[in-house]
Structure 1
Amino acid sequence: MADNATLRQLTGMPDAPSALANSALIMIDLQNTYTQGVLELVGVQPALDAAADLLERARSAGTPIFHIMHDAGVGSPYDISADIGQIVERVAPRGDESVIVKNYPNSFVSTDLDERLRALGMENLLLAGFMTHMCVNSTARGAFSLGYSPTVVASTTATRSLPGAGGVDAGALQAASLASIADLFGVVAPDVAAIPD
Structure 2
Amino acid sequence: MSNRAILVVDLQNEYWPTGNMPLQGIEAAAENAARVIAHARSQGDLVVNIRHEIPGGPIFVPGSKGAEINEVVAPKGDEAVITKNFPNSFRDTGLKALLDEKVIKDVIVIGAMSHMCIDATTRAANDHGFNTTTIYDACATRDIEFGGQTAPAAHVHTAIMGALAFLYGDVISTEDFVRS
Taking structure 1 as the reference length, the TM-score comes to 0.86
| Structure number with higher strand proportion | 2
Specify the structure having the higher radius of gyration (Cα). Answer: 1
Map of 1:52-71 to 2, 5 A cutoff? 52-71=34-53
Check if 1:171 corresponds to 2:154.
yes
Q: Matched residues in 2 for 1:76 and 1:56: separation?
A: 32
The residue type equivalent to 2:160 in the other structure is S
State the partner residue of 1:85. Answer: 67
Q: Matched residues in 2 for 1:68 and 1:127: separation?
A: 11
CA change 1:75–1:109 in 2 (3 A) is closer
Instruction: Provide the aligned length of Structure 1 versus Structure 2.
Output: 177
SS at match of 1:100: strand
Q: Deviations over 1:102-128 (max 9, x none)?
A: 011000000010011011111100110
Q: How high is the sequence identity, in percent, across the aligned residues? A: 33
CA change 1:72–1:147 in 2 (3 A) is same
Taking structure 2 as the reference length, the TM-score comes to 0.94
Contact 1:74 1:81 in 2 (8 A): no
Indicate which of 19, 29, 35 corresponds to 2:10.
29
Indicate which of 155, 166, 174 corresponds to 1:183.
166
Q: Matched residues in 2 for 1:80 and 1:174: separation?
A: 28
Check if 1:160 corresponds to 2:142.
yes
- How far 1:75 sits from its partner (Å)? 5.3
Q: Matched residues in 1 for 2:58 and 2:132: separation?
A: 30
Q: Matched residues in 2 for 1:116 and 1:38: separation?
A: 31
CA change 1:75–1:137 in 2 (3 A) is closer
Higher mean C-alpha displacement, 145-154 vs 72-81: 72-81
- How far 1:153 sits from its partner (Å)? 0.4
Structure 1 gap segments, 5+ residues each = 1-19
Contact 2:4 2:45 in 1 (8 A): yes
Shift >4 Å, 4+ stretches: none
State the partner residue of 1:106. Answer: 88
Q: CA RMSD in A?
A: 1.5
The residue type equivalent to 2:14 in the other structure is T
The residue type equivalent to 2:37 in the other structure is L
The residue type equivalent to 1:33 in the other structure is E
Q: Matched residues in 2 for 1:171 and 1:111: separation?
A: 30
Q: Deviations over 1:38-71 (max 9, x none)?
A: 5111111100100011111111111111000000
Contact 1:129 1:156 in 2 (8 A): yes
SS at match of 1:174: helix
Structure 2 gap segments, 5+ residues each = none
Contact 1:106 1:142 in 2 (8 A): yes
